[in-house]
Amino acid sequence: MITYHEQNRTIKLDTPNTSYVLGIREGGFLLNLYYGRRLPDDNLWSLAKRLKSASFSPCDPDDPNFSQDVAPMEYPTNGRGDFRVCALSVRGADGSSVTDLRYVSHRVTAGKPDLPGLPHLYVTDDTQCETLEVTLCDPCTNVEAVLVYTVFHDCDVIAKHVRLTNRGNQTVKLERALSSCVDLPSMDFDLVTLWGRHAKERQLERRPLGHGLQGIHSIRGSSSHSHNPFAALVQTGATETTGDVYGFNLIYSGNFTLTAEVDHDATTRVVMGIDPTDFGWLLAPGDTFVTPEAVHVFSADGLGSMSRTFHRCYDAHLIRGRWQKQKRPLLINSWEAAYFDFDTDKLISFAERAKELGIEMLVMDDGWFGKRNDDTNSLGDGFINEKKLNLGRLIATVHGMGLKFGIWYEPEMISPDSDLFRAHPDWCVHVPGRTPSIARQQYVLDVSRPDVRENIFAQMRSVLGTYPIDYVKWDFNRNLSEASSALLPAERSGEFFHRFVLGTYALQDRLTREFPNLLLENCSGGGGRFDPGMLYYSPQIWTSDNTDPIERLNIQFGTSLCYPASSMGAHVSACDRTGYRTKGDVALWGTFGYELDPNKLGTEDREIVKAQVKDYHKYYDLIHSGELYRLLCPWDNAFVCAWSFVSEDKREALVTVVRMRRQDDVLLHLKLQGLDPDAMYTVEDTGETYSGALLMYAGLEMTDKAWDDGESCKLHLLAE
């Protein structure tokens, strides 16, 4: 609900359990008065009591008691006396970058507007949310900023983006145009972020806030393996189940910044949006720039509840299309099974064995096009390598067995050794006069260019429109350098990174529109572009190239901070760190599959795989529509990890425990979460019955399970 209180000029945005309060101060300053647990409507203006003047900092000429520098500014700007990190900086035609936004008007509407060309949260019915638009304007440049907030009625989420329009008559340049700012009156927080690298994505890091700037960013051209566009401010001492937590996530797949600044008054400002490094956007009179959308979640019950809010929201309001709710096929992927070394018969043999095991889809990974038998060539040449493959026979045979068929692409890349590069050397991202840098033997295609996108799409259509292909894995295997486009004039070069991301979105949008039945899975050397922008186009993303189940625990626990089980590609591979049982129990958390040569499975392992396939079907609904509880996290406990999925009605739960390292003589009472304390639950395997209260408050005694390193177990609980 969104309410305007005329008397004290406050606007209150309420989700079921949280409130966000804006104040319009004399002079038209828009203030961020409160964000947190839900408040009643009384005395809201008292939240502004902390406003004061700051020594040395300018004050409002009309009010000596008000300095922007110490006020909780809702969309802070550059050059008018707020010296903290700002959200907007506009270089005017006179060369100055002073920006000063004042309130003009606001309006509230049912539903949510689309963000053209950008991924965003959506609703299927206008009654599911309300949207507030607050219009601000700079009286000198006439740059207008419309701050757009959507509150959802079914989850504690506030989405926010900004529309910047040049209402003046001279061209200006946006030098910084962030999506959101939150000012909190405390620094008693830890900053939680997800760092990583290839094959070690989304590792949780928690550090206390200190004075000054701290945060994460990407200037790699994609959201990247290094940092995910997610952060949480976690009240000091807060845990999985207790304490105040603010979660922030940017729906964007390119360069981003997520920065917290603590000032001398011990207040904390968090800003997020497109990273300003190498960013600059010319706004001619009448032009509009729309920022990516930022997602805000507040939880008074720790990190676990924050994550479940993100999961519910993304399952309902971000992931789209036919596959949003439809059961995903259990797949086998050829990459770790064969790498580049396959032909039609080898893939058919995978499909035959897979079929015997109950697997539902064969995915042919890299190596089917151009003359590609290793990673040195052919990206950009999306025609079938007929010397290697008879695609028609392969698909007909696989479909004939009742299996679906999927294929790998890396559309935004080009090999120097390719027909496409020989024909269009200027189509790769490069700066004329400099040798383009190479990574994984490839350059990046300039998808900011419509002609390049047209070519990519035509090539994809010629395969996907000819053969009945059910699934595409869309990969992206390098960072961007020499970021520049031959079509952009020099004064617009700062637009390149964002235009590149918009180009990727345009391609994925077109693909999913023209092939609405296709199941799209994004990938970027594993999970280098695992972000909500990509999730808008593809309901699942390959989480990591690391399929070692013990290392996967950290990756999957980290990923789950923000992203739902339905989005996490998780496969069982031939890696021998643990037995097949543990590999399956860990992979069951995500969109399940195999990444191995099924011809090489021993008899015993084949039986385990068959049982896993049964489990996949048995627990699918529970995992994909239930709620995740992280019971023992790998960042808190080096020995045992545990998580559970609990059905919405709390009648059913699946608990998974993995013994990472054996620890003798230590008791393990595993305290469950999210159950009905008054219900009696039976453990399916043993027939033992416990109350929900006992399972949650005393814990399930598991000390006698003397597992070895890398062993796991699952407990299926059913309420009587």
What is the binding site for ligand GLA (CB under 6 A)?
335, 365-366, 408, 475, 477, 523, 525-526, 542, 545
Least distance in angstroms from the C-beta of 477 to ligand GLA: 5
Half-sphere exposure of 702 (CA within 13 A, CB side): 23
Closest residue by beta carbon to ligand GLA: 366
Least distance in angstroms from the C-beta of 708 to ligand GLA: 30
Instruction: Count CB neighbours of 36 within 10 A.
Output: 15
C-alpha closest to that of 546 among 390, 389, 393, 336: 336
Q: Are 634 and 554 in contact, with CB atoms under 8 Å apart?
A: yes
**If 0-12 CB within 10 Å is exposed, 13-18 middle and 19+ buried, where does residue 580 land?**
buried
Backbone angles phi, psi at 413, to 5 degrees: -125, 160
Q: Which of 183, 475, 531, 585 is catalytic?
A: 475
Least distance in angstroms from the C-beta of 393 to ligand GLA: 23
User: What six digits make up the tokens of 23?
Assistant: 């104040």
Instruction: Count CB neighbours of 34 within 10 A.
Output: 22
* CB nearer ligand GLA, residue 267 or residue 333: 333
Q: How far apart are CA 86 and CA 145, in angstroms?
A: 14
Instruction: Count CB neighbours of 28 within 10 A.
Output: 14
Least distance in angstroms from the C-beta of 367 to ligand GLA: 8
**If 0-12 CB within 10 Å is exposed, 13-18 middle and 19+ buried, where does residue 490 land?**
exposed
* CB nearer ligand GLA, residue 485 or residue 546: 546
Q: Which of 138, 244, 417, 545 is catalytic?
A: 545
**If 0-12 CB within 10 Å is exposed, 13-18 middle and 19+ buried, where does residue 382 land?**
buried
DSSP 703: T
Which residues are CB-contacts of 110 (< 8 A; sequence separation ≥ 6)?
Answer: 126, 127, 129, 130, 131
Q: How far apart are CA 514 and CA 470, in angstroms?
A: 13
Show the CA angle centred on residue 441, arms to residues 437 and 442, nearest 5°.
70
Q: Are 236 and 285 in contact, with CB atoms under 8 Å apart?
A: no
Q: Are 122 and 102 in contact, with CB atoms under 8 Å apart?
A: no
Q: Round the CA-based radius of gyration of the chain to a whole number and report it.
A: 26
Show the CA angle centred on residue 628, arms to residues 623 and 630, nearest 5°.
130
Q: How far apart are CA 331 and CA 324, in angstroms?
A: 17
* CB nearer ligand GLA, residue 354 or residue 695: 354
* CB nearer ligand GLA, residue 361 or residue 668: 361
* CB nearer ligand GLA, residue 150 or residue 538: 538
* CB nearer ligand GLA, residue 335 or residue 427: 335
Q: How far apart are CA 367 and CA 335, in angstroms?
A: 9
Q: Are 178 and 257 in contact, with CB atoms under 8 Å apart?
A: yes
User: How many residues are present in the chain?
Assistant: 720
C-alpha closest to that of 480 among 412, 544, 534: 412
The yes-or-no answer on residue 60 being catalytic is no
Least distance in angstroms from the C-beta of 527 to ligand GLA: 8
Least distance in angstroms from the C-beta of 385 to ligand GLA: 15
The yes-or-no answer on residue 545 being catalytic is yes
Least distance in angstroms from the C-beta of 473 to ligand GLA: 6
Least distance in angstroms from the C-beta of 575 to ligand GLA: 14
Q: How far apart are CA 79 and CA 98, in angstroms?
A: 4
Least distance in angstroms from the C-beta of 463 to ligand GLA: 17
Q: How far apart are CA 81 and CA 45, in angstroms?
A: 23
Show the CA angle centred on residue 31, arms to residues 25 and 35, nearest 5°.
135
* CB nearer ligand GLA, residue 547 or residue 560: 547
Show the CA angle centred on residue 321, arms to residues 315 and 326, nearest 5°.
70
Least distance in angstroms from the C-beta of 539 to ligand GLA: 18
Least distance in angstroms from the C-beta of 335 to ligand GLA: 5
* CB nearer ligand GLA, residue 406 or residue 674: 406
* CB nearer ligand GLA, residue 146 or residue 389: 389
* CB nearer ligand GLA, residue 334 or residue 484: 334
Q: To which residue do tokens 């079914």 refer?
A: 154
Q: How far apart are CA 68 and CA 100, in angstroms?
A: 11
* CB nearer ligand GLA, residue 289 or residue 335: 335
Q: How far apart are CA 503 and CA 511, in angstroms?
A: 12
Q: Where are the alpha helices (DSSP H) in 71-153?
A: none
C-alpha closest to that of 646 among 667, 677, 612: 677
* CB nearer ligand GLA, residue 309 or residue 573: 573
DSSP 435: P
Q: To which residue do tokens 């429109």 refer?
A: 465
Q: To which residue do tokens 């572009």 refer?
A: 529
User: What six digits make up the tokens of 450?
Assistant: 């419509």
Instruction: Count CB neighbours of 637 within 10 A.
Output: 15
* CB nearer ligand GLA, residue 161 or residue 388: 388
Least distance in angstroms from the C-beta of 457 to ligand GLA: 21
Least distance in angstroms from the C-beta of 167 to ligand GLA: 46
Q: Which residues are catalytic?
A: 475, 545
